[in-house]
Amino acid sequence: MANHTIAAFQAVEVAPAAISGGGVEGYKLFEYRLFGDKGITVAAADTVEMWELPATAGLIVDAASVETVISGTAGAATLDVQIAPGGTYADVTALTGFALNGAVGLQLVKFATGANTATHTAATTMRVQINTAGLGKGEWIVRVYGLIAQ
């Protein structure tokens, strides 16, 4: 299991993350373009860091969606959204099992039902874990909706 960092993607000239709204605090839409073939091979059980969170941030995750932009060769791959309450990464309850083998334009939406809060005393990231199979080729937009308090 490899953890692919934000810096590793930037090194191959991929900077796919965006956060809506100015400043650090408030309700945010975190958006990430996940590529299956941009210079880094993402295999089954690998994780991909998506957004950096500041050291003193509290985070509540409400929902997530995954949209297929380019239908790829992900096969049976699925995606879980993870945060790090107490410094240890864990899946956000109900934001797991997003299928990555959908047709172009398919958008899957799920709402968090628990284990969706984290307080960070050190800088950390929000990330996804890829399950069952690697990404292969393709492109997906991962959107996570939540509140940052600082």
- CA 23, 24, 25, 27 dihedral sign is positive
Q: Give pLDDT tens digits for 122-149.
A: 878 889 999 988 887 888 999 999 998 8
Report the predicted TM-score, pTM, of the whole model to 2 decimal places: 0.88
Residue type, 3: N
The three-point CA angle 61-57-146 to 5° equals: 20
Q: How many domains does the chain have?
A: 1
CATH of the domain at 7: 2.60.120
User: If we measure between CA atoms, which residue out of 110, 83, 78, 109 comes closest to residue 94?
Assistant: 110
Q: Give pLDDT tens digits for 64-73.
A: 999 999 887 6
Beta-bridge partners for 139? 35, 70
User: If we measure between CA atoms, which residue out of 41, 8, 35 comes closest to residue 140?
Assistant: 35
Confidence label for 58 from pLDDT (cuts 50, 70 and 90): confident
CB neighbour list of residue 70: distance below 8 Å, 6 or more residues apart? 104, 137, 138, 139
| Domain that residue 67 falls in | 3-149
